[in-house]
Amino acid sequence: MDELNKAVTKAFANTFVYYYKAHAFHWNLRDKDFPEFHGFFGDLWEEVFEAVDPFAEKIRTLQTDVPSTMGQLIALANITEQPNVIAKDLMVAELLSDGETIINSLREAYNLCDLYGKFGFENFLAERIDAHEKHNWMLRSSM
């Protein structure tokens, strides 16, 4: 179970850091396509944010603590911060790459949930994988 707890906590940290990065991109975008991408990034961060609380609650059902500081989240995540990114193309490329990172961490957690018989959590993770695959399709289409 320790392996499962580490995997779901890492996937959660990646999700939270991705949410925050997309939110910051929404705020700081400077581009001729600002109105369109401000809205696009807004839809993206809002969808991911909606999953944060249910994800944390799923982790708690495993009797595991959820990271509670930005420092803990950043230390656990494979996604890194990118200060001063203000151009749409760079933001889209960052979020696309980070989306692949999230999908990989979600798949790892999904496989371990299957192994340990945590089928409700597995279903939740499958839905998150689908959501991030859709996000990546949209990001790829806008490049």
| Counts of helices then strands in the chain (DSSP H, E) | 5, 0
Per residue in 89-125, pLDDT (tens digit) is 999 999 999 999 999 999 999 999 999 999 999 999 9
Per residue in 34-81, pLDDT (tens digit) is 999 999 999 999 999 999 999 999 999 999 999 999 999 999 999 998
Q: Is-above-0.85 flag for pTM? A: yes
In whole angstroms, give the CA distance from residue 88 to residue 9. 30
Q: Tell me: pLDDT of 86 over 90.
A: no
Sole residue written with tokens 């990065």: 21
